Amino acid sequence: MKTQVAIIGAGPSGLLLGQLLARSGIANVVIEQRSADYVLGRIRAGVLEQTTVDLLEQAGVAARLHAEGLPHDGVELCFGGQRHRIDLLGLTGKRVVVYGQTEVTRDLMDARQAAGLPTVYEADEVTVHGFDSATPHVGWLKDGVRHTLQADFIAGCDGFHGVCRASVPPGAITLHEKVYPFGWLGVLADVPPVSHELIYVHHERGFALCSQRSKVRSRYYVQCALDEQVAQWSDDAFWAELKRRLPDDTAAQLVTGPSIEKSIAPLRSFVAEPLRFGTLFLVGDAGHIVPPTGAKGLNLAASDVGYLWQGLRGHYAGHPAELDHYASRALARIWKAERFSWWMTSLMHQFPDAGSFGHKMQRAELDYLVGSTAAMTALAENYVGLPMV
């Protein structure tokens, strides 16, 4: 088998890249270790920057997003028992759209299937070879049969634990990482959101987030210790803890119900440099992770895809230098998003070793932030997404 671009991973970044390449006349094959149902079953974030929406429009998969997505013109910070709205649209002229990552993935899967583009699910023992030579290829086992795919390029869209980054020689890659001393306990429930915009809560008991997936499905989080287990948290215990961290009037409006998904996610900041190794490119979570506080994970993966698509399109149009700039362009945006996500995480969470001075600094920063148009504008610019340059 031969193709121009082999894409490892059928999450939203791999499928979006495949769709954009196909619409540009560039042949590609997507190879995924898991089943399609497993990929769709992943519960992930759903706050989309305009740059991500633009890419989905260029991929021809934005119709349902525009019909069902929830535009958000602002976001709220809550501390000291008070809610403070950041006017994203008024400060930047831009907004975000709430549309679940599962729905983005479903739209991309449907488009790929409708176009008859080749996708291999449940591929075992996936390996990448020759990306430092002129003959890169991918191998996998399917139904007991070994397969090999030759390609011009390999796009590693296979996540933090995927094979692509792990295949790079240790001496050729530099890893930067910060692990945070807490996690997020998240609950998904078919209840109406407590607010039509997201609420980020700084509280002495720990951070909380009131988010949503639709007008009838909500996603809520509370900060928890890393050694806690989901089994320790009944639904009643979760709702009670969330209410403790919300202002009384907001807690009184909270609609509770049985959870349809509950999980604990650790938080980390992580970047691998560079993102290119010969004909192998790392994309999305394969190359970087951000804590979810700034809503940047899916959006950073999408901008990586945008840069790589532009580079590959230029390469096949006779301008190979455009592909050479992929890593530098992507990393410049990645590090700015890493900074914002780290800052938001540091501002809103309780850190075990911060002490009274650290807590006072957080409160002073929050007080300054909501009282300064310049500070609120800086937050809003980063939250709606910096431009792709």
Predicted confidence (pLDDT) per residue in 343-352, tens digit: 999 999 999 9
- Give the pLDDT confidence score for residue 372 in this predicted structure: 98
- Give the pLDDT confidence score for residue 42 in this predicted structure: 81
Look over the chain and give the mean of its residue pLDDT values, rounded to a whole number.
Answer: 97
When pLDDT is averaged across residues 21-25 and rounded to a whole number, the result is 98
User: Which band of pLDDT confidence, cut at 50, 70 and 90, is reported for residue 44?
Assistant: confident
Sheet of 218-224, strand order: 82-86, 75-79, 199-201, 208-212, 218-224, 174-189, 259-273, 288-289
For residues 195 and 189, is the Cβ–Cβ distance under 8 A?
A: no
The pLDDT of residue 370 is above 80: yes
What sign does the dihedral 184-272-333-284 (CA atoms) show?
negative
The pLDDT of residue 65 is above 80: yes
User: Which band of pLDDT confidence, cut at 50, 70 and 90, is reported for residue 38?
Assistant: very high
The 10s digit of each residue's pLDDT in 82-102 is: 999 999 999 999 999 999 999
> Torsion angle, CA of 368/373/378/380, rounded to 10 degrees?
110
When pLDDT is averaged across residues 159-179 and rounded to a whole number, the result is 97
The 10s digit of each residue's pLDDT in 200-235 is: 999 999 999 999 999 999 999 999 999 999 999 999
When pLDDT is averaged across residues 12-19 and rounded to a whole number, the result is 98
The pLDDT of residue 45 is above 80: no
- Give the pLDDT confidence score for residue 97 in this predicted structure: 97
User: Side chain identity at 243, as an amino acid letter?
Assistant: K
- Least reliable range by pLDDT among 40-44, 114-118, 131-135, 357-361: 40-44
When pLDDT is averaged across residues 165-189 and rounded to a whole number, the result is 97
Collapsed DSSP state (helix, strand, coil) of residue 177:
strand
- Give the pLDDT confidence score for residue 36 in this predicted structure: 95
When pLDDT is averaged across residues 1-18 and rounded to a whole number, the result is 97
- Give the pLDDT confidence score for residue 26 in this predicted structure: 98
The pLDDT of residue 276 is above 80: yes
CA distance 249 to 258: 22
Q: How far is CA 86 from the centre of its chain?
A: 22
Token pair in block for residue 62: 């934005």
- Give the pLDDT confidence score for residue 288 in this predicted structure: 98
Provide the percentage of residues in the chain whose pLDDT is more than 90: 97
When pLDDT is averaged across residues 189-198 and rounded to a whole number, the result is 97
Cβ neighbours of 120 (radius 10 Å): 18
Q: Name the residues annotated as catalytic.
A: 72, 200, 292, 296, 383
Q: Which CATH architecture has domain 2-44+100-177+268-347?
A: 3-Layer(bba) Sandwich (3.50)
- Give the pLDDT confidence score for residue 41 in this predicted structure: 86
